[in-house]
Amino acid sequence: MPEAVLAGIPTAWRVIGDGPVHALALHCSLAHGGTWIGFSAGLQGVSLTVPDLLGHGRSGDWDGVSDFHSLATRQAMAVLAAVPEGPVHLIGHSFGATVALRMALENPDRIASLTLMDSVLFCAARAAGGPAFGDHIAQHAGFAEALAAGNALAATEAFQAIWGGGRPFDSLPPAQRGYIVQRIGLIAAQNPVLNDDAAGILAYGRLEGLGVPVLLLQGAESPAIIDAINAELARRLPQVTRATVAGAGHMLPISHAADCAVRVQAFWAQIANAL
């Protein structure tokens, strides 16, 4: 596994596969790059670069003060620069999807396509109006209260009950539970961008100007706000395809890795055929 200081952040990453097609995949919060191994097994002819984002895996810790989302985006952009020259298919899951979208907006030149799996850009649902964002905040009240009280375990249990894809937290291996509890504070660190759009992702005309084909992939059993987010993104993005993975929840690239891989590679083929 290569390791280097990228964008000022000690960064670990790996490349899975050795095919001629290059892709970069960004994991969800509380995970690491290794969660893409199952997904990569379903890809044909692909070299998939998977970094550990800031505060995760073997990469450096967040300092607790700086703009977490901006740092993670700069880190991911530096990893992209290390991918061999040529077009790159960019993939993100959950938090990683919000970073991927921001990367495509800020520097689209090398991006061949963008796949967003269960993006958690909550401010998109907020901007659309309707009950989804308010319901989301109410659903997370117990998590927010536990986190504010410093009860990391209770906060983690509340968070995983919503976003764990249906798997009970206490069913996870002890090491994995400890890893997640240790990082649960990173969820609140994302709020300025995910809830309040501090990065200006939704600024007028910005999404509409993205000249990159986008696949919005979601789990059929994902939290309701995911559909509201994707509906708003689909309304504004000029080149967009929506798809749903039957039986999958929020952790679709892990729980339904093969299905996701087939759909993503079919999307890439669709783009190639249109050229």
Written as one string, the DSSP assignment of 208-246 is GG--S-EEEEEETTS-HHHHHHHHHHHHH-SSEEEEEET
Beta-bridge mates of residue 216: 116, 242
Q: How many CB atoms are closer than 10 A to CB 199? A: 22
Give me the mean pLDDT over the 152-170 stretch: 92
Residue 43: pLDDT over 80? yes
Residue 275: pLDDT over 90? no
Give the start-to-end residue ranges of the domains of the chain: 3-130+193-274
Nearest-angstrom CA–CA distance, 190 and 193: 6
In the three-class reduction of DSSP (H, G, I as helix; E, B as strand; rest coil), residue 198 is classed as coil
Percent of the chain with pLDDT over 90: 95
Interstrand relation of 46-51 and 9-16 (parallel, antiparallel or unpaired): antiparallel
Question: What pTM did the predictor assign?
Answer: 0.97
Residues in CB range of 109: below 8 A, 6 or more apart: none
- CA trace torsion 205, 108, 48, 249 (10° rounding): 0
Percent of the chain with pLDDT over 70: 99
Nearest-angstrom CA–CA distance, 157 and 59: 25
Segment 45-96, tens digit of pLDDT: 999 999 999 999 999 999 999 999 999 999 999 999 999 989 999 999 999 9
In the three-class reduction of DSSP (H, G, I as helix; E, B as strand; rest coil), residue 16 is classed as strand
Written as one string, the DSSP assignment of 123-151 is HHHHHH-SSHHHHHHHHTHHHHHHHHTT-
Q: Give the torsion sign (CA, 260, 262, 263, 266).
A: positive
Query: Taking all residues of the chain, what is their mean pLDDT, rounded to a whole number?
Result: 96
8: which 2 tokens? 């000022």
Q: Which element (helix H / strand E) includes 3? A: strand 3-6
Segment 227-269, tens digit of pLDDT: 999 999 999 999 999 999 999 999 999 999 999 999 999 999 9
For position 273, what pLDDT does the model report? Answer: 86
The distance between the two most distant Cα atoms of the chain, rounded to a whole number of Å, is 54
For position 181, what pLDDT does the model report? Answer: 97
Question: Class of the 3-130+193-274 domain?
Answer: alpha beta
Q: How many CB atoms are closer than 10 A to CB 15? A: 17
Residues in CB range of 269: below 8 A, 6 or more apart: none
Give me the mean pLDDT over the 124-153 stretch: 97
